[in-house]
Chain A
Amino acid sequence: MEYRFQSQGKEYVVALESGPEGIRAWVDGRECRFRLHPARDGTLDLEVDGRRHRISCARDGSSLHLACEGEGYRLQKLDPLSPRAPQQHEHGLEAPMPGLVRRVAVVAGETVRRGQTLVVLEAMKMEIRITAPEQARVIKLHCGAGDQVDRGQVLVDLDATGGKGG
Chain B
Amino acid sequence: MFHRLLIANRGEIAVRIARACRESGIVSVALHSEVDASALHVREADEAIPLQGASPAETYLNASVILEAARSAGCEAIHPGYGFLSEDAAFARAVRAAGLVFIGPEAGTIQRLGDKTRARELARTAGIPVVPGYAGGGSEADFLREAKKLGFPVLVKAAGGGGGRGMRVAATPAGLEEALHSARREAEGAFGNSRVFLEKLIPSARHVEIQVLGDLEGRVISLFERDCSVQRRYQKILEESPSPALTEELRERMGVTAVAVAKAAGYSNAGTVEFLLDLDSGEFYFLEMNTRLQVEHPVTEVLTGVDLVAAQIQLAVGEPISPSWAAAVPRGHALECRLYAEDPARDFAPSPGRILRWKMPEGPGVRVDSGYAEGDEVSIHYDSLLAKIIVSAEDREAALRRMEGVLRDTVVLGPTTNQGLLKRLLAHPVFRRGDATTDFLPNHLFPAGNVHHPPDEVLIAAAILAEGGALPSGKTAAGETGDLHSPWRVADGFRLSG
Write the residues of chain A forming the contact surface with B, with a CB cutoff of 8 angstroms. Answer: 1, 3, 5, 7-8, 10, 12, 14-18, 22-23, 25, 27, 30, 32, 34-36, 38-44, 46, 48, 51, 53, 55-60, 64-75, 77, 96-100, 122-128, 148
Contact = CB atoms under 8 A, between A and B. Distances in A.
Contacts of B381: 100, 124
B413 A56 contact: yes
B380 A98 contact: yes
Contacts, number: 199
B473 A42 contact: yes
Contacts of B466: 3, 64, 77
5 contacts: A36-B494, A42-B471, A59-B356, A64-B465, A66-B462
B417 interface: yes
B145 interface: no
A124 B382 contact: yes
A38 B462 CA distance: 17
Contacts of B478: 58-60
Contact of B346 (A7, A41, A96): A96
B488 A40 contact: yes
A68 B359 CA distance: 12
B383 A125 contact: yes
B217 to A, nearest CB: 38
Interface in B440-498: 451-467, 471-473, 475-476, 478, 480, 487-488, 490-498
B410 interface: yes
Interface residues of B, number: 69
B462 A14 contact: yes
B180 to A, nearest CB: 18
Interface string B180-208: 00000010010000000000000000000
B454 A72 contact: no
B220 interface: no
Contacts of A73: 452, 454, 458
Q: Which of B186, B341, B345, B380 has the most CB of A within 10 A?
A: B380
Q: Which of A14, A39, A127, A148 has the most CB of B within 10 A?
A: A14
Contacts of B144: none
Interface string B312-349: 00000000000000000000000000000110011011
Interface string B81-119: 000000000000000000000000000000000000000
B94 to A, nearest CB: 24
A46 B457 contact: yes
Contact of B471 (A25, A27, A53, A58): A58
B407 interface: yes
Contacts of A126: 348-350, 384
Interface string B348-359: 111111101101
A68 to B, nearest CB: 5
Interface of B: 186, 189, 341-342, 345-346, 348-354, 356-357, 359, 380-384, 407-414, 416-417, 419-420, 423, 451-467, 471-473, 475-476, 478, 480, 487-488, 490-498
B352 A42 contact: no
A27 B186 CA distance: 47
A7 B456 CA distance: 13
Contacts of A72: 412-413, 416-417, 419-420
A97 B349 CA distance: 7
A55 B35 CA distance: 31
B380 A124 contact: yes
A74 B416 contact: yes
Contact of A98 (B189, B353, B453): B353
A96 B380 CA distance: 13
Q: Which of A38, A40, A57, A97 has the most CB of B within 10 A?
A: A57
Contacts of A42: 357, 471-473, 475-476, 488
A58 B341 contact: no
Nearest to A38: B491
A46 B487 CA distance: 11
For the complex of A and B, list the 8 residue pairs with the smallest distance between their C-beta atoms, beginning with the closest.
A58-B356, A124-B350, A65-B413, A14-B463, A42-B472, A70-B408, A123-B380, A123-B350
Given A14-B462, A72-B420, A100-B380, 8 more contacts: A16-B464, A18-B495, A27-B459, A41-B472, A42-B475, A56-B357, A68-B455, A124-B342
Nearest to A12: B459
A44 B352 contact: no
A55 B354 CA distance: 19
Nearest to B351: A97
A55 B357 contact: no
Contacts of A60: 354, 356, 414, 478
